[in-house]
């Protein structure tokens, strides 16, 4: 495994190339750089598309599945389809970071299309970190698509973080929730330079007692631009909440367009959004404690995105 | 003046056909049914379009201007352009109700295109009530367009209410704010039957220190549908706030799509939306005080829309 892959894996999925206990699949520049199934978690190549099927047996509890993908050099355009089938009553963690290294003049791109099928009572913690590195003038692009289908009583939390260095990202996430299913999505994005980040969530609360909580926190520095769009459709007795908090700095631009639609009299939907710069008092307080302006700013942003 | 006009005027603008002290213009089925200018408020017919120019002299303080419009029978399609020029330092109230009576099988429609030009330091309270009556099967339609331009230090409050009986409404409001200008919009809408109501606000906060507060409260009963869209663009050091609270009943459907864009680092923008039915505890409390379910419901909605 090359040192760039090692560095990216370390940052996006806490994998340093050493032995891993659980199931994993490492994708490197469009190829499989390592795979392991376990007794209850099978990882299989798809027959007609690039990508894998991850099959988690019913009642599998406590396993962590790593499926990082890296693009290590310029000119790569990687497209992958990964499907996760989570058996009834299973409770697993899935770590799916993506790192793109670009040291050349062409674009380096990773497009991951992920679909999740949660059977009755299944629980998933899905952690996704996106990172770009390298000194090339070519763009580092990550455009993930995530689709989630949740059966009765299932639960999923999706923690998605874009750390830095991704020049352009367009993130599409859709979810359909059955009876009493709960979905939590926590998104953190920081953009700098002239980066662009776009988020689109569409959640259909179809089942009685279903609920969704979408929380986005973002920081836009430099001349970067961000667009946050979320759509929650309440089609049954359900609860939906969406919040978008954004800090703008320098000449950063942020748009937030949340959309709530109550199609059922027992749907309860709430949204809040706030966009602004760091409050002056916060800066003053930290600077009287001895921090420079830059240190104070970093401290506040670190806390905001934690 | 026919009795239908009298009834509509009474409900939309507190005018009962009696003498009025201030400036007024009454529009009835596309024609002028009465007009009066005052020393400092001139009302003049437009030369090339249907409609009037309302010219308020600088420093005119305390006058109330009535410009109600009524459509009294089926088959009328009334389109009117009214422009309001508010002189520097003036402080006036404008009452612009619109009533549509339809007792036939064809559509009865009023489209009012209103533009406001507020000079430096001008203040306007703009009150607009929309109402439909009559037993005809033809639709009662009111599609108002409002455009507001606000110079330095000007202030405008727009109170817009759709009481009942309007089958379809599409409301477009745009505003451009200069330095330290403040805009408050309060919207109240109740829909019933299979009515449809759509609201679109677009506010550009261009001036340093400008601010906008958009507050919408709505109730959707029966199979009625409502769409609320607001867009606030913060293009300077400014404050923008938008809130949408909606109560749904029966099979009513409400969508809220607020949009915030901060194009300036000193723009502070906030939005909240909540859609849901009347809380059960509220109903229980009023019913233990002796109210029937229907009375309790009416009480709560009355309070909500007050």
Out of A255, A263, A277, closest to residue B253 by CB = A263
ipTM of the complex: 0.83
The domain locations on chain A are: 3-305
* Residue B121: pLDDT over 90: yes
Interface check for B265 against chain A (CB to CB < 8 A): the answer is: yes
* Residue A19: pLDDT over 60: no
Q: Determine, for residues B276 and A267 on separate chains, whether the beta-carbon distance falls below 8 Å.
A: yes
pLDDT of residue B16: 58
Q: Determine, for residues B271 and A267 on separate chains, whether the beta-carbon distance falls below 8 Å.
A: no
Cβ atoms of B72 and B5 closer than 8 Å = yes
pLDDT of residue A165: 87
Higher pLDDT, B282 or B153: B153
Number of A:B CB contacts under 8 A?
108
B252 neighbourhood in chain A, CB within 8 Å: 265
Q: Determine, for residues B277 and A265 on separate chains, whether the beta-carbon distance falls below 8 Å.
A: yes
> What average pLDDT does this structure show over A162-190?
94
Mutate to test the interface with A, among B218, B271, B283, B297 (most CBs of A within 10 A): B271
> What average pLDDT does this structure show over A260-286?
91
Out of B251, B268, B273, closest to residue A265 by CB = B251
Interface check for A276 against chain B (CB to CB < 8 A): the answer is: yes
pLDDT in tens, B140-162: 999 999 999 999 999 999 999 98
Q: Determine, for residues A253 and B271 on separate chains, whether the beta-carbon distance falls below 8 Å.
A: no
Would you call B76 helix, strand, or coil by DSSP? coil
* Residue A17: pLDDT over 80: no
Interface check for B194 against chain A (CB to CB < 8 A): the answer is: no
Q: Determine, for residues B267 and A246 on separate chains, whether the beta-carbon distance falls below 8 Å.
A: no
* C-alpha pair distances (Å), B229 with each of A209, A257, B232: 27, 10, 10
> What average pLDDT does this structure show over B206-223?
96
Q: How confident is the model at residue A20 (pLDDT cuts 50, 70, 90)?
A: low
Out of B254, B261, B266, closest to residue A262 by CB = B254
Cβ atoms of A240 and A260 closer than 8 Å = yes
pLDDT in tens, B47-91: 999 999 999 999 999 999 999 999 888 888 889 999 999 999 999
> What average pLDDT does this structure show over B4-22?
74
Out of B250, B263, B266, closest to residue A265 by CB = B250
Give the integer Cα–Cα distance in Å for A82 and A67.
9
Of A152-156, A175-179, B99-103, where does mean pLDDT reach its minimum?
A: B99-103
* Residue A179: pLDDT over 90: yes
* Residue A18: pLDDT over 60: no
Give the integer Cα–Cα distance in Å for A51 and A83.
8
Q: Determine, for residues B273 and A269 on separate chains, whether the beta-carbon distance falls below 8 Å.
A: yes
Out of A255, A261, A269, closest to residue B260 by CB = A255
Interface check for A278 against chain B (CB to CB < 8 A): the answer is: no
Residue B71 burial (C-beta neighbours within 10 Å; 0-12, 13-18, 19+): buried
Give the integer Cα–Cα distance in Å for A3 and A78.
20
Q: Determine, for residues A253 and B270 on separate chains, whether the beta-carbon distance falls below 8 Å.
A: no
Mind giving me the DSSP string for A127-169?
EEEEEEE-S-SS-EEE--EEEEEE-TT-EEEEEEEEEE--SEE
Nearest residue to B100 (alpha-carbon basis) of B146, B24, B167, B1: B167
List for chain A the helix, strand, coil content (%; round to 5). 10, 55, 35
Out of B256, B258, B262, closest to residue A248 by CB = B262
pLDDT of residue B251: 94
pLDDT in tens, A188-211: 999 999 999 999 999 999 999 999
Cβ atoms of B177 and B202 closer than 8 Å = no
Taking the CA of residue A121 and the nearest CA in chain B, the distance in Å comes to: 27
pLDDT in tens, B222-242: 999 999 999 999 999 999 999
Interface check for B279 against chain A (CB to CB < 8 A): the answer is: no
* Residue A4: pLDDT over 90: no
Q: How confident is the model at residue B20 (pLDDT cuts 50, 70, 90)?
A: low
Q: How confident is the model at residue A3 (pLDDT cuts 50, 70, 90)?
A: confident
Q: How confident is the model at residue A144 (pLDDT cuts 50, 70, 90)?
A: very high
pLDDT in tens, B254-269: 999 999 999 999 999 9
Out of B246, B270, B274, closest to residue A274 by CB = B270
Cβ atoms of B136 and B168 closer than 8 Å = no
Interface check for B44 against chain A (CB to CB < 8 A): the answer is: no
A269 neighbourhood in chain B, CB within 8 Å: 273-276
Out of B253, B266, B273, closest to residue A277 by CB = B266
Q: Determine, for residues A272 and B271 on separate chains, whether the beta-carbon distance falls below 8 Å.
A: yes
> Mean pLDDT for chain B?
92
Interface check for A283 against chain B (CB to CB < 8 A): the answer is: no
Q: Determine, for residues B277 and A266 on separate chains, whether the beta-carbon distance falls below 8 Å.
A: yes
Q: Determine, for residues A255 and B253 on separate chains, whether the beta-carbon distance falls below 8 Å.
A: no
pLDDT of residue B15: 65
* C-alpha pair distances (Å), A89 with each of A41, A43, A57, A86, A121: 14, 19, 9, 8, 5
Which tokens sit at A227? 């667009």
B248 neighbourhood in chain A, CB within 8 Å: 262, 265, 267
> What average pLDDT does this structure show over B274-297?
88
> What average pLDDT does this structure show over B179-207?
96
pLDDT above 70 covers what percent of chain A? 97
pLDDT of residue A16: 58
> What average pLDDT does this structure show over B34-42?
95
Q: Determine, for residues B256 and A246 on separate chains, whether the beta-carbon distance falls below 8 Å.
A: no
A274 neighbourhood in chain B, CB within 8 Å: 268-271
């Amino acid at each position: 495994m090359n040192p760039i892959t090692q560095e990216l894996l370390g940052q996006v999925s806490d994998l340093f190339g050493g032995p891993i206990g659980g199931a994993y699949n490492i994708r490197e520049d469009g190829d499989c750089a390592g795979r392991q199934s376990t007794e209850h978690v099978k990882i299989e190549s798809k027959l007609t598309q690039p990508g894998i099927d991850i099959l988690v047996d019913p009642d599998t509890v406590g396993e962590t599945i790593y499926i990082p993908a890296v693009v290590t050099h310029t000119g790569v355009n990687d497209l992958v389809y990964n499907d996760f089938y989570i058996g009834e009553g299973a409770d697993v963690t899935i770590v799916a970071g993506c790192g793109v290294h670009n040291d050349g003049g062409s674009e380096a791109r990773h497009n991951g299309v992920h679909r999740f099928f949660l059977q009755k009572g299944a629980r998933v913690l899905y952690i996704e970190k996106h990172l770009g590195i390298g000194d090339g003038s070519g763009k580092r692009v990550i455009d993930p698509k995530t689709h989630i289908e949740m059966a009765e009583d299932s639960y999923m939390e999706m923690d998605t973080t874009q750390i830095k260095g991704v020049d352009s990202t367009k993130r599409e996430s859709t979810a359909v929730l059955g009876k009493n299913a709960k979905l939590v999505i926590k998104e953190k994005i920081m953009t700098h330079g002239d980066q662009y980040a776009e988020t689109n969530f569409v959640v259909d609360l179809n089942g009685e007692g279903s609920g969704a909580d979408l929380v986005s926190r973002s920081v836009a520095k430099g001349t970067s631009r961000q667009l946050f769009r979320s759509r929650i459709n309440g089609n049954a007795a359900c609860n939906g909440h969406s919040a978008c908090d954004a800090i703008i700095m320098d000449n950063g631009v942020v748009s937030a367009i949340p959309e709530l639609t109550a199609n059922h009299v027992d749907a309860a939907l709430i949204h809040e959004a706030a966009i602004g710069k760091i409050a002056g008092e916060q800066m003053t307080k930290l600077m009287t404690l001895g921090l420079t302006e830059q240190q104070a700013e970093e401290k506040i942003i670190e806390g905001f995105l934690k």
